[in-house]
């Protein structure tokens, strides 16, 4: 039997985070060895509560949840919280009862470091929120980028407008300083930005199909998806929703569903371009020494087989 890929999902649930977590649990190629939580769609405390709740819905309380940072890497407390996209509770305003489980004592960053040490080169982190926990792991253990297998980042807007403002995508905007640390850390990084995820749409018809299926998570997801569909309808005038987090999760499961280019990525950390991700293809050697020189390269997704991705997501979520 082929060894299943060990993954840790760093997450801010979040409606599409919930889809991605369930998708991971329905994917035989991967073994979810932990969830780490972060602010983004909701504050970190609520993200932890939602992560525990989702694992209870799945009957997978055996998976540990490690709570992440409550502030940005520069100790910023003025966080951007996207509750207008996901509902005040982060899960479509369903007012679910509090989970029975508790997070483990370890912080997200120390859990990430511990797991990388336990399984060197074998753990994939799927980062579905702002990158604070990963940057903290790198700060606390400079060897972390070498020991972690791969970091799949849902974030950035490469050569397209952002979704927070024209410059910035939400996860990068949440903590640009952390994002710049992670992108230049030398880890094996695969970035999936909104230039790609905006091609992966779940339509009203897909949702109807899901609601009529006997999928293990179908009824639950259709309930929480209401708020997400309304937001997309009002903000983008689309008849469907973007499947950001599930697409990034599938990039970890099967990278060949997307194509990539390789180069240096840096993140603007202040001013009106705060959160902007710039890709440098390293082809031109610039004359002067700058903050772009001798930086490690990362892979950035440029195309996606959107029909195949949507089909795979639907198939797995409709599975009982
Ligand atoms: Ca997310």
Identified catalytic residue from 53, 86, 232, 244: 244
Distance 37 CA to ligand 1 centre (A): 10
Q: What is the CATH number of the domain that holds 140?
A: 3.90.245.10
Distance 214 CA to ligand 1 centre (A): 26
Predicted pLDDT at 211: 95
Distance 42 CA to ligand 1 centre (A): 10
CB 131 within 8 A of CB 137: no
Residues with Cβ < 8 Å from 237, sequence gap 6 or more? Answer: none
> Helix crossing, 306-317 with 15-25: angle to 10°?
70
Q: How many domains does the chain have?
A: 1
Q: What is the pTM of this model?
A: 0.97
Predicted pLDDT at 4: 95
Instruction: Let me know if 62 is a catalytic residue.
Output: no
Among positive and negative, which fits the CA dihedral 127, 131, 132, 136?
A: positive
Distance 154 CA to ligand 1 centre (A): 8
Q: Which domain covers residue 163, as residue numbers? A: 5-318
> Helix crossing, 218-236 with 15-25: angle to 10°?
140
Predicted pLDDT at 72: 97
Predicted pLDDT at 271: 97
Distance 39 CA to ligand 1 centre (A): 9
Residues with Cβ < 8 Å from 211, sequence gap 6 or more? Answer: 218, 219, 222
Distance 49 CA to ligand 1 centre (A): 15
Distance 208 CA to ligand 1 centre (A): 23
Distance 100 CA to ligand 1 centre (A): 23
CB 56 within 8 A of CB 86: no
Q: Distance (Å, rounded) from C-alpha 252 to C-alpha 246?
A: 10
Distance 148 CA to ligand 1 centre (A): 21
Q: Distance (Å, rounded) from C-alpha 198 to C-alpha 187?
A: 26
Low-confidence ranges of the chain (pLDDT < 50): none
CB 251 within 8 A of CB 131: no
Predicted pLDDT at 1: 63
Predicted pLDDT at 233: 87
Identified catalytic residue from 10, 12, 175, 206: 12
Taking only the tens place, the pLDDT of each residue in 13-40 is 999 999 999 999 999 999 999 999 999 9
DSSP string covering the chain: -PPPEEEEEEE---HHHHHHHHHHHT-TTEEEEEEEE-SSSS-HHHHHHHHHHHHHHHT-TTS-EEB--SS-TT--------HHHH-TTSSSS--PPPPS----SSBHHHHHHHHHHHSTTTEEEEE-S-SHHHHHHHHH-TTHHHHS-EEEEE---SSS--SSSSS--HHHHH-HHHHHHHHTS-S-EEEE-HHHHTT-EEEHHHHHHHHTS--TTHHHHHHHHHHHHHHHHHHH--SEEE-HHHHHHHHHH-GGGEEEEEEEEEE--SGGGTT-EEEE-S-S--SS--TTTTPPPEEEEEEE-HHHHHHHHHHHHT--
Instruction: Let me know if 70 is a catalytic residue.
Output: no
Predicted pLDDT at 236: 86
Distance 16 CA to ligand 1 centre (A): 6
Q: Distance (Å, rounded) from C-alpha 123 to C-alpha 134?
A: 13
Predicted pLDDT at 90: 93
């Amino acid at each position: 039997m082929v060894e299943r890929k060990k993954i840790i999902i760093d997450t801010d649930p979040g409606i599409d985070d919930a889809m991605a977590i369930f998708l991971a649990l329905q994917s035989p190629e991967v073994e979810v060895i932990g969830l780490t939580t972060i602010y983004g769609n909701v504050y970190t405390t609520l993200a932890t509560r939602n992560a525990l709740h989702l694992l209870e819905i799945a009957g997978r309380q055996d998976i540990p949840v490690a709570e992440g940072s409550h502030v940005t890497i520069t100790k910023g407390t003025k966080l951007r919280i996207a509750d207008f996209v996901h509902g005040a509770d982060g899960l479509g305003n369903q007012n679910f009862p509090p989970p029975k489980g508790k997070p483990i004592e370890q912080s997200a960053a120390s859990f990430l470091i511990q797991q990388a040490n336990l399984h060197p080169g074998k753990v994939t982190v799927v980062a579905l929120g702002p990158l604070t926990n990963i940057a903290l792991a790198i700060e606390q253990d400079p060897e972390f980028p070498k020991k972690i297998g791969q970091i799949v980042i849902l974030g950035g807007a490469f050569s397209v407008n952002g979704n927070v403002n024209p410059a910035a995508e939400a996860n990068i905007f949440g903590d640009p300083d952390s994002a710049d640390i992670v992108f230049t850390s030398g880890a094996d990084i695969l970035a999936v930005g909104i230039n790609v995820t905006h091609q992966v749409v779940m339509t009203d018809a897909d949702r109807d199909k899901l609601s009529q299926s006997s999928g293990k998570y179908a009824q639950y997801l259709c309930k929480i998806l209401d708020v997400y569909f309304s937001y997309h309808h009002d903000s983008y005038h689309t008849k469907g929703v973007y499947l950001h987090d599930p697409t990034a999760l599938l990039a970890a499961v099967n990278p060949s569903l997307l194509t990539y280019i390789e180069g240096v990525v840096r993140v603007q950390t202040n001013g009106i371009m705060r959160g902007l991700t710039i890709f440098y293809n390293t082809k031109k050697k610039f004359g002067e020494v700058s903050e772009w020189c001798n930086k490690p390269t990362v892979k950035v997704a440029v195309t996606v087989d959107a029909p195949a991705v949507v089909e795979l997501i639907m198939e797995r979520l409709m599975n009982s």
